[in-house]
Each structure stands twice: as C-alpha cells, then as structure tokens.
Structure 1
C-alpha cells in the first residue's frame, strides 16, 4: 500500500509540473516584450519624432529623462520641457511663466505622447500594477491579455486610468491596446498597431484609434472590435523618427 501511495504521489507531482510549465507570469510577458522592442536602448538613446506637425524629443541624461515638445508656428517657436523637477516653457528662447494649472495640462499631454510612442517601455515603472487576465485570439493569432492599473503615488494625474494590452504569444509584441480615461469627460479607446519598423534597435508603430458609439467599459472593447462595431476616430502616425546611435549603449 505504501509503495502504491508513493507511485500515485509521483504521478500527481509530475502532472502538476507539466501544468505549471504551460503557465507564464505576467512580469515575464512584460519583460520579454520590452526586450524584443528595444530593451535598454529606451533608457540610453536620445529619440525624436514628429506627430501632427509637432516635434517631440526624449533626452536621456545621466539616468534622468528630459521630455520635450517643440511647436513651430510662423515666426514663433515654443519649447516645452518636462523634467523630474517640473515644467518649463520658452518662446523664441525666452523663458515664460506658465500657470500651475496649464503647466499640469501641458505636462500631461507631453508625457502621454511620449508614453504611447515608446510602448511597451514604461510598463515596468514602479507605479504600474499588472494582472494577467487570460488568453484570447485575434484572427489566427493567440494573445496574452494583460490589465494595467496605477498606484496613486507616482501614478500621475491619470492614475485611475485602466489599460488593457494584448501581447502576441509568439512575438511578445503588443499589437493591440485599450484604455479607459476620466479626464475631459472620460471615455474609452481601442488602438490597433500597424506599420511596425525598427530604427536603430527600437520598435515603433502607428495606430488606428477607435472609439465606441456608446459609453461602455474598457473590458467590452475587444468584443466590439472583433465584430467591427467600433468607429475609427483617427490614425496616429509617427514621422521623421530619429534614434541617435551615438549615445546608445
């Protein structure tokens, strides 16, 4: 009887190991996605691109990030700089005073554009909470479905936003994302990545940006996208992308 019990225990143990070998931790998904998309280059390279006629620049300076936005309008050049210690604006090289409320608005806008441009980098920030919701399918491709929320501390003004990312199980790249936001009346968006290109080792994509015709939860967007019930709101294209290879490590 003892021998029989031992044999049963061995089979159960092996079965459990086999089942566990099919599972993956959500942190592994994020780590692999960042690695295949650019890895450490995100934190060492200087990057710039144009979005809707506005120039954006990321400067990595001794471990600190400096985010910039440059708006050229006829003879006026507005330079917005977002650092760890606050927001600055110059017009034609001259510093100007910006009200705190407007500085917060500008900072949020600049941060948002840079955030989307460098995805999935940023998903390992300290304030990010990740949860694997399961697996799903788009067409004939399998995806990991990951929910992302944020702590209030260090989570920014939009810490209560909810994101969902769909990571291709073969490539680990985030081909789709959706989010629920509360500013400006709130709403939801669903983004479909396209036009992938690798520039000096870093992945960049453009997006088809969709919205629902009614007020729904971010968790409902996947089903509506698959049944073609979302409306195309805009197309988001990054142009004139530059990755400075001289300061990439």
Structure 2
C-alpha cells in the first residue's frame, strides 16, 4: 500500500511539472515584447534581413549588408591628408585600408573603429536590432509627449552576446497607435559619462523601410541627475539643449539578388 501511494504521488508531481513546463513554454509574450514586435513591423525592418542599405552621414559613406545573421558594414571617407580610408566590419572582424592598402592596427584601435562603425549602423537601422538575442526588455509604462500617447520600454543587454557595450542602457518611446519609435534615450561612458535624448524627425519610407533623422539633446550635467526614463518629462519641460542633428542623406536600399 505504501509503495502504491508513493508511486501515485510521484506520478502526480510529474504531471504537475509537465503541465507547468507546457504553460511556461507557451506563455504569452511580454507586453514589452509585443510593443517592440509591433514597432518592427511598423518600420518594415523585416526588409533588412536580406538586403543592402547605403547612406551618407557627416561626409562619410556607410553601407550595411545583412543576410540572415551574416553582416558586412563599411565606412568610407577621405582623411585630412587626402587619403581614402575604407573600414569594414563583418562577422570575421575589422579591417582598414588606406588608399586600397590594408593597414595593421593595434587591437585597441581596431576595437574603437569597430564600435564607431557599429554604432552608426545600429542607430541608423533602429528599431531593427531590438530583438537580438542579448536584448532584455522591460515595460516601464505609458507616457504623453507633445500630446501624443506612448509606451516606454527599457532595453539592457546580457553580458554574453551583448558585445563591448553590454552595460549600455536605452529607453524607447513607441507611439501607442502608430507603433513608431519616435524618441529614445541612452547612457554612455565616454568622456566622463552621461546620457542623451533623441527626437525622431523627417520620417520617410525607402524600400518599404522607415528611416528617420534625429535631433540630439543633452540635459544639464550631462543628464547624470536623473534616470534616462525621465527624459520625456525633462523634454516636455523645455530643459534640454539641442546639441546636434543626425541626418541620414542619400539613403538607398537594394536587394541581394
């Protein structure tokens, strides 16, 4: 009798465990995930999975090729001595050529140039990268900016797969009806650290992909006095200083075929 009861109890526990596992595996996506997914669709980012995007930013030419996880990003410009510099960042690493001759760089410089190229492409193609494996999303609630309704989503990164900037923190404002990414804020560590707030401008559709320019703002004391999630309130209060514009010029989209 004891064996029968113990065996029955064990089977009962196993059934509960299986039921719990099934529910966990089929649980509804988080609210933050649903908001990001809607934004990706609204921006047409599925068209970036296989394709090429080119644009100019501050007298430098950029090219981003993506093919289902494989990528080749490049930056081309003329330096102060008149030499043509061509940087290439890919799954295989970083390479620089000057007047078509490959240059050997110290690891520290390779890392710095890699991060520079990657950062420009990252911001230019947002919100495309917000479903990367290392991304962690958290819903922060609703907000109103310039009379429009928004969802706020915080993004951080797992150390594994998060790259050199895994400690970075972002907050995105997604329009509740249009699902567009209209504002973002982020922390940075360079030059003593701080944060910035960006307002999307000049939205346009090219190759079924939504591209945007940005007004770049800073707060007093470089935004160190409040969390970046509060930037919407500081922006509404008119306490931010516009420091630059990020304008993508000559944007073109090509297929891989």
What interval of TM-score do these two structures reach, taking the shorter chain for normalisation? 0.7 to 0.9
2:246 to 215, 218, 236: 236
| Aligned-pair CA distance for 1:72 | 2.2
Paired residues in the alignment total 225
Structure 2 residue aligned with 1:195: 202
- State the partner residue of 1:15: none
| Cα distance in 1 for residues equivalent to 2:114 and 2:200 | 25
**TM-score normalised over the length of structure 2:** 0.84
Query: Paired residue for 1:13?
Result: none
RMSD over aligned CA atoms reads: 1.6
Shift of 1:183: 2.7
Q: Is residue 2:152 matched to residue 1:145? A: yes
Q: Which 5+ residue runs of structure 2 have no aligned equivalent?
A: 1-28
Counterparts of 2:56 and 2:48, CA distance in 1: 18
TM-score normalized by the length of structure 1: 0.86
Instruction: Give the secondary structure class of the aligned counterpart of 1:194.
Output: strand
> Computing the radius of gyration over CA atoms, which structure comes out larger, 1 or 2?
2
CA contact (8 A) 1:54 1:70 kept: yes
Residue by residue over 1:192-229, the C-alpha shift from the partner in whole angstroms, topping out at 9 and shown as x without a partner, is: 00100000111110100000112323133221111000
Structure 1 segments (4+ residues) deviating >4 Å: none
Does structure 1 retain, via aligned residues, the 8 Å contact 2:186–2:197? yes
Q: Retained in 2: the 8 A contact 1:188–1:211? A: yes
Q: Tell me, in whole angstroms, the C-alpha distance in 1 between the residues paired with 2:116 and 2:185.
A: 18
Does residue 94 of structure 2 align to residue 87 of structure 1? yes
Q: Name the structure 1 match of 2:11.
A: none
Q: Quote how far apart the aligned CAs of 1:174 are.
A: 0.6
Q: Deviations over 1:140-180 (max 9, x none)?
A: 21100000001111111111111000000011111000011
In 2, Cα distance between equivalents of 1:111 and 1:228: 31
Q: Distance in 2 between matches of 1:121 and 1:60?
A: 12
